[in-house]
Structure 1
């Protein structure tokens, strides 16, 4: 039994339900589960999202290989940025029409971060910080703005800034005299 069928059965979902929910026929899904056909990349993604499992797991890659792939080298910010943009494009999330919706996602994630910090929940805090970065990357693409250029610009402004840290917050020199 392949992982497509195994995962569906573990979740207690019928072939009809899955097929209808992801927009394919029951017969096509049956072909995938019986390895008579190979799903397209978009379908693998839909199925993995639907079952809430990694695509690599659903495809049946051995766990050792998945762990090895996950540990290959260091993914820098630029590469992660590229992967996130591709992920969002594959799901048709990126669109200038979505700016206000995506901005609301950013603020929603900020609220979850505040909750994580207030409850001293380290896992929620880490998850929220990651989600904020993802939503900002998508928002910057919706706005046709390079997020790395924004970051470089912000650093250019603050790098030589002087001031003082008061109660854990940096106050720039010009604000100290107001």
Structure 2
């Protein structure tokens, strides 16, 4: 049973009551509880505040990780990377069979960041950047890559690259046509 449903039942609250108190539709709460839809970050926070539990606990992160988050209140990129992989594994999301669907999630999040940038919506951009990282980490796992290794390899390729920044975009030396 996912923790959203578990916490709600422990507190003996109906979905209708949660919806009335939080402003989240009953239908959406039901989808979250059945894991048919993933809440956005601000929704996780709203529900965690409502239930008076840590967000990490409500998300179903492993207890040791929840304790670690509660103790430090900040995680390194590597710790977040591992937490996301564990979260996705707990939901049976990581599988080579899911690669094309996970790629579509990455593309969907890219569209959301474009919308946020176009509308100058800083919150949407921040949320979308986080969502893009999550979807990329899961996609990398589907393809049996470690995203941190990919990032390290990319940095090693670009760190000594020469070129010019033109209109805010770096163009490598071999692509410059002067």
TM-score category, normalised to shorter length: 0.5 to 0.7
What residue is the counterpart of 2:11 in the other structure?
A: 4
For 2:171, what is the secondary structure of its paired residue? strand
Q: Does 1:160 align with 2:160?
A: yes
Q: Kindly indicate whether the alpha-carbon contact (under 8 Å) linking 2:113 and 2:124 is maintained by their aligned counterparts in 1.
A: yes
- What pairs with 1:133-172 in structure 2 (closer than 5 Å)? 133-172=133-172
Distance 1:62 1:85 in 2: 19
Distance 1:56 1:87 in 2: 17
Deviations 1:46-93 (A, max 9, x none): 6xx68x646866875489xx9x95472531111001110111111111
Q: Which has the larger radius of gyration?
A: 1
Q: Kindly indicate whether the alpha-carbon contact (under 8 Å) linking 1:85 and 1:138 is maintained by their aligned counterparts in 2.
A: yes
- Cα separation, partners in 2 of 1:139 and 1:164, compared to 1, 3 Å: same
Distance 2:70 2:14 in 1: 21
**What's the TM-score, normalizing by structure 2?**
0.68
| Structure 1 residue 175: Cα displacement | 1.1
For 2:84, what is the secondary structure of its paired residue? helix
Structure 1, unaligned runs of 5 or more: 23-45
Distance 2:96 2:86 in 1: 16
- What pairs with 1:27-176 in structure 2 (closer than 5 Å)? 53=44, 61=53, 69-70=69-70, 72-176=72-176
Distance 1:78 1:137 in 2: 11
Q: Which runs of 4+ in 1 moved over 3 A?
A: 1-4, 52-63, 68-71
Q: Kindly indicate whether the alpha-carbon contact (under 8 Å) linking 1:3 and 1:58 is maintained by their aligned counterparts in 2.
A: no
Structure 2, unaligned runs of 5 or more: 1-7, 56-65
**What's the TM-score, normalizing by structure 1?**
0.68
Distance 1:110 1:78 in 2: 23
Distance 1:62 1:117 in 2: 30
- Cα separation, partners in 2 of 1:104 and 1:132, compared to 1, 3 Å: same
Distance 1:160 1:138 in 2: 29
For 2:13, what is the secondary structure of its paired residue? helix
